[in-house]
Copies of this chain bind each other. A is one copy, B any other.
Amino acid sequence: MSPQDIVKRMYEQDAFSQWLGIRIVRIDTGNCWLEMTVRPEMCNGFHIAHGGITYSFADSVLAFASNSLGHHAVSIETSISHTKAVYTNDQLTGKSELLKDGRTLAIFQITITNQKEETVALFKGTVLKRELWK
């Protein structure tokens, strides 16, 4: 399967990524670029998004980027630093960088930015590669 077909199949089945309103901008092998818009129901009374929103968005980038390598990929460990507050109506962009692609493991850095190109979160994810997609 092509990287694009793998991600298309994953996304169609992924109700929560759809609830987040994730838009797929570009998929290549080991590479993923997504966008989403922050809505009021993702935020608190000060219009600041829950930390789980940015994590969820970054985790979808990780899932799509790692599976696009061709194996079913399972998240082992992820970490996130929230470096700037995210607000209602912010336009978020998530891009992956493949730091390591081994036989059984892959490591990605995911950077989340807002519409002012400010980094709002730094995410690192390690995945275990399982059987091939087919």
**A44-B79 contact given A52-B55, A55-B59, A128-B104, CB 8 Å threshold:** no
Is chain A's interface secondary structure helix, strand, loop, or mixed overall?
mixed
- The digit string for A1-40, where 1 denotes a CB below 8 A from any CB of B, is 0000000001011111101100000000000000000001
| Tally of chain A residues near chain B (CB < 8 A) | 48
What is the minimal beta-carbon distance from A123 to any residue of chain B, in angstroms? 10
**Shortest Cβ distance from A82 into B: residue:** B75
A79 with B76: CB separation less than 8 A: no
User: Which of A40, A55, A60, A107 counts the most chain B CB atoms within 10 A?
Assistant: A55
What is the minimal beta-carbon distance from A9 to any residue of chain B, in angstroms? 9
